[in-house]
Structure 1
């Protein structure tokens, strides 16, 4: 064989080796899944968490409930992965992120407020240094306070 042919066959084998089957999230309408990583070389498992979820934010809330329930039972995992209608959901201490793939770029869906709740990123007020401000309950005005 000529060296050019060997190089072409070798390059083709390298390209084929790099084309692994990507994991796709199920696209069942309204079904929220928790994703558990499979053993070495196995595909991840999709465990149903909730049905009839109208939006991805509701699925993220169900997954946050699962994450907190495991932490209250003594678990130590701070992150959880889920899926909803073809999108992957990643929940961690910073907030909720979404992506079309397990290992692709992630986009911020919900951020944590100063007191740990989840909110839309644009709704969170931040201090001058960028730290989120805690959201407090509204209270009745103090009648003895001077008016500005």
Structure 2
């Protein structure tokens, strides 16, 4: 029984050590953009220092995503990292994960007018669609 338990634990350790995930060194409070060049492993590019929260890093990534789109780019998703967590910003909102290829969890969703908000703070109509929080523009 002891050898079986030992072999199971040893196998789990070996499987974890043989992961194909790239290893990154994250500095505290630094927001990164994850560059994924064709045929090369992903690499981190520093975007900002002394970033207080992961949400602020996500906001910097969203700003970068929108600038690229305004310049004519077509990439709808931007990936970043903050203190060991990966941030995925796309048209739906912001998702966070522990790895580049693993599970992703919603952190912020889009409001009816396109802004990012914590999902519980978004007002929805009876069909479940988000309602714009900003007041409608004044008629001229």
TM-score (norm 1): 0.76
After the TM superposition, list the runs of 4 or more consecutive aligned residues in structure 1 that deviate by more than 4 angstroms. none
Q: 1:128 offset after TM fit, Å? A: 1.4
CA change 1:99–1:24 in 2 (3 A) is farther
Query: Are residues 1:85 and 2:56 paired?
Result: no
C-alpha distance in 1, partners of 2:62/2:51?
A: 14
State the structure with more CA Rg.
Answer: 1
The aligned counterpart of 1:124 is 122
Query: Are residues 1:22 and 2:14 paired?
Result: no
C-alpha distance in 2, partners of 1:137/1:25?
A: 44
CA change 1:76–1:35 in 2 (3 A) is same
CA change 1:109–1:25 in 2 (3 A) is farther
Q: Answer 1 or 2: higher relative contact order, Cα 8 Å, separation at least 6.
A: 1
> Residue by residue, what CA displacement relative to the aligned partner does 1:91-131 show, whole Å, maximum 9, x if unpaired?
00000000000111101111000000000110001111111
The aligned counterpart of 1:106 is 104
User: Gaps spanning 5+ residues in structure 2: where?
Assistant: 1-13
Aligned residues: 122
User: Gaps spanning 5+ residues in structure 1: where?
Assistant: 1-14, 139-148
CA change 1:52–1:27 in 2 (3 A) is same
Q: 1:43 offset after TM fit, Å? A: 1.7
